[in-house]
Structure 1
Amino acid sequence: MTDTAAPAAADLATELLDLHRDPRLLTLVNVWDVASARAVAGVEGTKALATASHAIASSFGYPDGENIPLDLMLDMCGRIAAAVDLPVSADLEGGYGDAPEAVRRAIAVGVVGANVEDQMKPVAEAAAQVEAIMAAAAAEGVPDFVLNARTDVYAKGRGRKRDELLADAIERGRAFLDAGAPVVFVPAILSEEDVAALVDAFGPQRLTTIGIPGSPSLSRQEELGVARVSYGPMPQRVALTALQELVEEVHRGGGVPATMRPLT
C-alpha cells in the first residue's frame, strides 16, 4: 500500500460498493466540476457522485475520447472528490494506455470507483485488464474499488443484429465479473427484455445502465435487479440548455427565472 491512499478511501469504496449491492437502485447524475458536484451533492437523496469524461473534456475545450491530458482530467476528479463528503467514481475512458496506472493515480486523488471501457479489445485481453485494475486498487489499499467495467459492444456495434450485440455483451460482462469487476456497464438504449437478460446473466445488482430517453423506467429497472443508472454527459447538456434558454429569455427582454436557486 502506498501512503497516498488514506484509510478513508477504503471506507468510501466500501460505502460505494454497498450502494451497488443494495437492491434499491443507485442513480448517479454525473458531474464535471466542483460547482456541479456541490450542486448535485446538495440535493437530498444523493448518495454518491460520478464524473463524466465527456463533460469534463468539453469544459476544457477538448473533444471526447482521451484527448484531454490525463493529468488535467485527474486534477478535476481530485477537486471534485475533495469538495464533497460522498464516494466519487471517475470516468477514465479506456484508461489512457495504462488502465491500472490510471486507476492508481485516481485513487491517489480521492477517487474510489471508475468506469473503464473495454474498447472492444479481445475478451481475454479486456478481462486481463480488469484483473490488473482490481489488483492495482488492492495494492493501493482499496480492495473494494468499484470498477464499473464498461463494454462498448453496443456503442461500436452499429449495423449488427440486436441478439448478436446482447450475446456479446453477456459474454464480455461475465468475463469481467469473473476477473473481479463488481459491476458491468452496458451503455445503450436497452429494451426491458435486454435488461432482464443481462441481469439474468450477470446476477442481480451487477448491471449498470445509462439513463437515455427510451430506456425502461427507473422503477422497472430496480424491479429487474439493475444496480445503477448513470447519465454520462447529459446532465451537462441539460445545464447548458438551461443557460441557452436564459439567454433567449434575456434577448426577449426578460430575466432570470424566479425558480433560480442560490449557489452552494
Structure 2
Amino acid sequence: MTYSARARAFAELHQPGTPLVLYNIWDAGSAAALSKAGAQALATGSWSVAAAQGYGDGEDIPLELLLQIATRITATSDLPLTVDFEGGFAQQPEALTQNAQKLVETGAVGINFEDQIIGGSGLYGVEEQSRRVAAMRAANADYFINARTDLFLKEPDTEKHASLVDQALERAEAYAKAGASGFFVPGLTDATLIARITAGTPLPINVMMRGGMSLSGMAEAGVARASYGPGPYAKAMKQLSEAFAALT
C-alpha cells in the first residue's frame, strides 16, 4: 500500500459517533503490544516518548531521536502511526515544513500539532497558527494533521470552559481552511460542551480521555477519536514499580 493510501485509510478511521481509540504508545515495544491486542492504529504521546528516553515534555527530546523512534515503530508494525509532534520543533513556516517532511519520511501518516507556544506562554494567535498549520500541510498533501488547541488545557477552572467554546470553534474553522484534517480539544471533559464542538465544525473531533469520561459518552457526543495521552505510560511505569516492590 502506498503512503497516500495508508494516510487515507487512517483518515477514514475517524468516524463521528464511532471513536477511533488510540491508547498512546512510546516506542516499538509498546506498539507491538497494542498491535497484538487488536489496535486499529497507533499514536505516540509526546510526554510518554520523552519520559521513556529520560527527557521532559515540551520538545525537550531531540528531534532526530524522535524521528528514530517513529522510524522504528513503522518498521516493526503495519498499523498506521500518528506522532505527537507538539509545536513542530520550529516557529517559522519553512522550518516547520522541513521538519514535517522528515516525519513523513519515517512512514508516520499523521501528527498532532498544537497551538500553545512551546517554551513561551499562551497560544499563538489564530492567524499565525493558521499559517503554521498551512506550513505543516505543505510538507505532504495526504497525511493527517490533527490540529490541537490548548485553550481548555490552559484553563484549569472547568467552569470557564463553556466561555471558550466559541473561541475553539473559531480556531477549528481557521485551522480547517489552512489544511487541518482533525481538531483536538484536550482538557475539555464536559460531554455537552464537546457535543457543541462536534456540531460546530466538520472536522473530526479528538478528545483526551480523563476522569469519568467514557467511550460511550464520547460516541454520543459525536467524537471521532479518543486518545489517552500520558495515562498508559504512567500506568505501565506504576505497574513496573509495584511489581519490583512486591519482590522485596
What pairs up with 1:90-129 in 2 under 5 angstroms? 90-97=83-90, 98-119=95-116, 120-129=123-132
Kept after mapping to 2: 8 A contact 1:189/1:212: no
Cα gap change, 1:157 to 1:99, in 2 (>3 Å): farther
Kept after mapping to 1: 8 A contact 2:16/2:205: no
* Matches of 1:64 and 1:114, distance apart in 2: 16
Kept after mapping to 2: 8 A contact 1:52/1:91: yes
Instruction: Give the structure 2 partner of residue 229 of structure 1.
Output: 226
Cα gap change, 1:42 to 1:220, in 2 (>3 Å): same
Instruction: Give the structure 1 partner of residue 77 of structure 2.
Output: 84
SS at match of 1:126: helix
* Matches of 2:160 and 2:61, distance apart in 1: 33
* Matches of 1:99 and 1:18, distance apart in 2: 26
One-letter amino acid matched to 1:115: N
Kept after mapping to 2: 8 A contact 1:134/1:147: yes
One-letter amino acid matched to 1:75: Q
Kept after mapping to 1: 8 A contact 2:28/2:72: yes
* Matches of 1:134 and 1:10, distance apart in 2: 14
Determine which of 133, 145, 162 is the counterpart of 1:130: 133
Q: CA deviation at 1:164?
A: 2.5
For residues 19-69 of structure 1, the C-alpha deviation after alignment (integer angstroms, 9 at most, x for no partner) is 01465210001111111010011112x110001111111111111001111
* Unpaired runs of at least 5, structure 1: 1-6, 252-264
Instruction: Give the structure 2 partner of residue 255 of structure 1.
Output: none
Instruction: Give the structure 1 partner of residue 34 of structure 2.
Output: 40
SS at match of 2:186: coil
**Once the two structures are aligned, what percentage of the paired residues are identical?**
37
One-letter amino acid matched to 1:136: A
* Matches of 1:152 and 1:99, distance apart in 2: 19
For residues 205-235 of structure 1, the C-alpha deviation after alignment (integer angstroms, 9 at most, x for no partner) is 61100011232x2112112211100111111
Q: CA deviation at 1:189?
A: 4.0
Instruction: Give the structure 2 partner of residue 213 of structure 1.
Output: 211
Kept after mapping to 1: 8 A contact 2:84/2:112: yes
Q: CA deviation at 1:247?
A: 1.5
SS at match of 2:147: strand
Instruction: Give the structure 1 partner of residue 68 of structure 2.
Output: 75
SS at match of 2:247: helix
Report how many residues are paired. Answer: 237
**How well do the aligned residues superpose, as a CA RMSD in angstroms?**
1.6
What is the TM-score normalised by the length of structure 1? 0.85
Instruction: Give the structure 1 partner of residue 120 of structure 2.
Output: none
Instruction: Please identify the structure whose Cα radius of gyration is greater.
Output: 1
* Unpaired runs of at least 5, structure 2: 117-122
One-letter amino acid matched to 1:137: N
Cα gap change, 1:131 to 1:109, in 2 (>3 Å): same
Q: CA deviation at 1:124?
A: 0.6
SS at match of 1:42: helix
Tell me, yes or no, if structure 1 residue 165 matches structure 2 residue 164. yes
Instruction: Give the structure 1 partner of residue 44 of structure 2.
Output: 51
* Matches of 1:247 and 1:34, distance apart in 2: 23
SS at match of 2:30: helix
Q: CA deviation at 1:103?
A: 1.5
Kept after mapping to 2: 8 A contact 1:92/1:102: no
Kept after mapping to 2: 8 A contact 1:208/1:227: yes
Cα gap change, 1:41 to 1:69, in 2 (>3 Å): same
* Matches of 1:201 and 1:99, distance apart in 2: 28
One-letter amino acid matched to 1:134: R
